[in-house]
């Protein structure tokens, strides 16, 4: 049975007291809306009055590393228990996090305990019935000296109305390595909010790649909490909205200790009447001396009707740091287009060639050949179809 948020009764949904409290928090705040500064371009106000199926069956599947219960991981790993219990409050929180806490059901929990491990994740939203809100939850712990490679595909070709509220909490012990590639390719009738929180210990290294290919609304909240010296965070993102799609990337890198590094590169190609958003925050706390933190966001408007909203931010309380941020938004070079057309290349083909050259830097950072090829094919196809 579908109901709007006003008809939700937490005490009647077979929830624990903690889940009921989380759901009460969500009800009190409602869906994020444009009056909130962090959501001024990506409002979900219209969802407030719509009827929803609040507890559909989970559609998150996996291959490779085997899951376990959170209670078992807390019991077996003192290192994880210490990280889990000492995690600090998350920045820029919103009502969708407690909604996930209340309704995610059983989280998928993975422990990369030693050596090199691989994990394939699949979130198939077209398996959901019309009017579903799905709250998926992933918890990952990469143990000391271990490495984990995650490839995640979020996809759907259906026409049903679906809202995906996906939370991932990832913890890296000392000297742990993470390589995480996300591919988002869902239909225009669907909306997804992806909330990823990565906690880094001493000398831990994390590389994330977010490829936003299709979706009516895609909102990515990616947070890095650097809590160990010598840690490295590398954030990579590529978004190619077209039509009336909206793709919104909000990043937070919070440097809390000395001698750590972060590098951030996001690129966007905006076509049709699409809208893009990039809001990137870097915090350097007072104790985080000798921090290196760099952020760059570059965008190309391939249509006169597309728009891009950017807001890079630096907040620095330390004095011995190297930090920079910058953003550019422009159109394709008329000189380059003229050069290609003078050699017999059509206007659409010339635009495609220039845009592919622009995005190739991020695609080429994917070392796995098959994954590189599949992502290239999807992105090239999207650009060609949008410019045809």
Q: What would the pLDDT profile of 135-164 be if each residue is shown by its tens digit?
A: 999 999 999 999 999 999 999 998 999 999
Overall residue count recorded for the chain in this entry: 388
Does pTM top 0.85 for this prediction? yes
| Span 309-355, pLDDT tens digits | 999 999 999 999 999 999 999 999 999 999 999 999 998 899 999 99
Cβ-Cβ contacts under 8 Å for 234 (sequence gap 6 or more):
205, 206, 207, 208, 262, 263, 264
Instruction: Give the chain's mean pLDDT.
Output: 95
State the distance between the two ends of the chain, measured CA to CA, in whole angstroms: 43
What pLDDT sits at residue 388? 76
Q: What percent of the chain has pLDDT over 70?
A: 98
What pLDDT sits at residue 1? 67
- How far CA 82 is from CA of 74, 86, 111, 178, in Å, comes to 9, 6, 15, 19
The mean pLDDT value for 177-202 works out to: 97
Would you call 55 helix, strand, or coil by DSSP? coil
Question: Is 171 in contact with 141 (CB distance < 8 Å)?
Answer: yes
Distance, CA of 195 to CA of 206 (rounded, Å): 16
| Span 221-270, pLDDT tens digits | 999 999 999 999 999 999 999 999 999 999 999 999 999 999 999 999 99
Q: Which letter, b or e, does each residue of 92-113 get, where b requires 16 or more Cβ atoms within 10 Å of its Cβ?
A: eebbbbbbbbbbbeebbbbbbb
Q: For residue 180, what pLDDT band results from cuts at 50, 70 and 90?
A: very high
| Span 273-313, pLDDT tens digits | 999 999 999 999 999 999 999 999 999 999 999 999 999 99
The DSSP bridge pattern shows strands 67-68 and 108-112 to be antiparallel
Q: Which letter, b or e, does each residue of 359-385 get, where b requires 16 or more Cβ atoms within 10 Å of its Cβ?
A: beebbeebeeeebeeebbebbbebbee
Distance, CA of 224 to CA of 262 (rounded, Å): 9
Q: For residue 88, what pLDDT band results from cuts at 50, 70 and 90?
A: low
What pLDDT sits at residue 92? 66
What pLDDT sits at residue 93? 74
Q: Is the pLDDT of residue 89 over 80?
A: no
Q: Is the pLDDT of residue 105 over 90?
A: no
What pLDDT sits at residue 12? 83
Q: For residue 187, what pLDDT band results from cuts at 50, 70 and 90?
A: very high
What pLDDT sits at residue 371? 95
């Amino acid at each position: 049975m579908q109901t709007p948020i006003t008809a939700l009764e937490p005490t009647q949904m077979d929830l624990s007291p903690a889940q009921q409290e989380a759901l009460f928090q969500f009800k009190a705040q409602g869906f994020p809306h444009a009056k909130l500064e962090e959501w001024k371009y990506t409002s979900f106000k219209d969802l407030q009055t719509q009827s929803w199926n609040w507890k559909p069956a989970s559609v998150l599947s996996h291959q490779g590393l085997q899951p376990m219960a959170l209670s078992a991981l807390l019991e077996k790993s003192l290192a994880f228990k210490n990280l889990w219990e000492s995690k600090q409050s998350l920045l820029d929180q919103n009502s969708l996090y407690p909604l996930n806490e209340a309704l995610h059901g059983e989280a998928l929990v993975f422990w990369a305990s030693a050596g090199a491990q691989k994990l394939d994740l699949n979130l198939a939203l077209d398996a959901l019935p019309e009017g579903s809100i799905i709250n998926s939850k992933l918890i990952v712990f990469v143990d000391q000296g271990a490495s984990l490679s995650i490839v995640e595909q979020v996809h759907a070709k259906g026409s049903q109305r679906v809202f995906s509220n996906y939370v991932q909490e990832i913890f890296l012990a000392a000297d742990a390595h993470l390589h995480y590639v996300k591919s988002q390719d869902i239909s225009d009738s669907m909306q997804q909010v992806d909330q990823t929180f990565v906690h880094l210990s001493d000398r831990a290294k994390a590389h994330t790649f977010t490829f936003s290919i299709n979706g009516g609304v895609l909102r990515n909240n990616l947070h890095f909490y650097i809590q160990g010296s010598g840690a490295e965070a590398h954030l990579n993102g590529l978004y190619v909205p077209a039509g009336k799609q909206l793709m919104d990337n909000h990043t937070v890198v919070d440097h809390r200790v000395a001698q750590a590094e972060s590098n951030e590169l996001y690129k966007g190609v905006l076509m049709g009447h699409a809208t893009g958003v990039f809001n990137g925050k870097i915090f350097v706390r007072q104790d985080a001396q000798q921090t290196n933190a760099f952020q760059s966001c570059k965008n190309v408007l391939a249509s006169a009707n597309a728009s891009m909203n950017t807001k890079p931010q630096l907040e620095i309380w330390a004095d011995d740091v190297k930090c920079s941020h910058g953003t550019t938004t422009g159109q394709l070079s008329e000189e380059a287009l003229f050069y290609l057309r003078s050699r017999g290349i059509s206007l659409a083909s010339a635009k495609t060639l220039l845009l592919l050259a622009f995005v190739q830097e991020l695609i080429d950072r994917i070392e796995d050949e098959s994954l590189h090829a599949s992502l290239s094919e999807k992105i090239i196809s999207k650009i060609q179809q949008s410019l045809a």
